[in-house]
Amino acid sequence: MYDAAHHFDTLYTSVPREFEFRASTREEWIAWREMFRPRLRQALGLENIESDLRDYQSHAEMSKSEDMGDHVREHWHLWVEPTVPLPFYLLRPKTTNGLHPLVLTPHGHNHPHIYAGIAHSESEEKSMIEGERDIARQAVREGYLAIAPTTRAFGETRTELDKQNNRTHSCRIELMHGLLVGRTPIGERVWDISRLIDWAIARPDVDVQRIAITGNSGGGTVSLFAAACDTRISVAVPSSYFCTFHGSIGSINHCDCNYVPGILRLGEMYDVAGLIAPRPFSAIAGKEDAIFPIQHVQFAYERLKQIYTVAGIPDNCQLHIGEGGHRYYKAGAWPFIRHHFNAT
């Protein structure tokens, strides 16, 4: 009799992975990295996006500024494509002297405003506080400039029908329609992060040598892939995402936006994360996370640690395990980010 779970398990373990990490020397690691990153960008559709928009110059407009007491919160739109005004919050410390490190905080399958510390209901307030999801607000209180972008297919970038029906996201539409022109949701979201970095580093108050990215769940997805593709990101801290593809999105019915055609023929998630080396990487995981099971997280981390070891910087990689489930654990983020920002 046909057993779907057994079939897919067999498939995932049998397909060859072109960029499975096998290097044993620093020189082999560098060669692996230089060959793998362009192929990953191709799989995500980034090369197609770059080709489509090669003559386009993005621009931004601010619509609102609010004094929040200990910081200023600004509402902006950045036209990442001629037809995509991407909303984002800019949270900045009130101190204006010198350069500030930058932290980008892409969100997961919830509302963009939560990361900026905005709750529209008691349930949102509870989720935000108990799950430590006000990540951009945490960042600005650490003294950093923080950008909390809307993840493409959420908020204002949902379809009109999904807005009318009060659906949180339009991820399936983004995936299916994007596939027609060789794009993926992850690729578009990585593109958006890179354009936000372009905009930010043109400001006079941003320290271009100290740029971190951290987000939870779907925000962890964007954090990992953006750091793998854009080397201007100096510290990566994905939360409730780093695992294996096989043991997480390959074993459950997950949101369509997670899937990249052919990704397992290139490598596992720890291979993708390995492209971040030698830059610091902290994986945050919940011991009781049913979506990204801890045993698969730990296996992936051991494989990633091998990459950092071959690269000669094993201490630039850590795994922080929180005691609960699928949420953000700020204890795994800010001490790590602060340590590596101070070392820069």
DSSP secondary structure letters along 178-215: HHTTT--HHHHHHHHHHHHHHHHHTSTTEEEEEEEEEE
Measured CA to CA, the distance from residue 334 to residue 339 in angstroms comes to: 8
CA distances from 293 to 72, 82, 107, 206, 290 (A): 38, 40, 20, 37, 5
Alpha helix segments (H runs only) across the chain: 4-14, 26-44, 46-52, 112-115, 122-130, 135-141, 160-164, 171-179, 185-201, 218-229, 263-266, 269-274, 294-310, 334-343
pLDDT exceeds 80 at position 97: no
Q: What is the pLDDT confidence band of residue 98, given thresholds at 50, 70 and 90?
A: confident
Average pLDDT over residues 121-142: 94
Measured CA to CA, the distance from residue 63 to residue 236 in angstroms comes to: 30
pLDDT at 338: 97
CA angle 39, 30, 218 (to 5 degrees): 50
CA 170 remoteness from chain centre: 18
Average pLDDT over residues 147-172: 97
Residues ≥6 apart with Cβ < 8 Å to 267? 17, 18, 19, 20, 21, 36
The two tokens of residue 2 are 């046909």
Q: What residue ranges define each of the domains in the chain, with the CATH number in brackets? A: 25-343 (3.40.50.1820)
| Average pLDDT, rounded, for the chain | 96
- Residue at 142: amino acid letter: E
CB of 89 closer than 8 Å to CB of 147: yes
What counts of helices (H) and strands (E) characterise the chain? Answer: 14, 9
Average pLDDT over residues 316-342: 97
Average pLDDT over residues 30-38: 98
Measured CA to CA, the distance from residue 33 to residue 13 in angstroms comes to: 23
pLDDT at 170: 97
Alpha helix segments (H runs only) across 239-331: 263-266, 269-274, 294-310
Measured CA to CA, the distance from residue 178 to residue 161 in angstroms comes to: 18
pLDDT exceeds 90 at position 42: yes
Q: What is the pLDDT confidence band of residue 181, given thresholds at 50, 70 and 90?
A: very high
Q: Is the dihedral of CA 323, 154, 142, 120 positive or negative?
A: negative
Q: What is the pLDDT of residues 231-285, one digit of tens each?
A: 999 999 999 999 999 999 999 989 999 999 999 999 999 999 999 999 999 999 9
pLDDT exceeds 90 at position 111: no
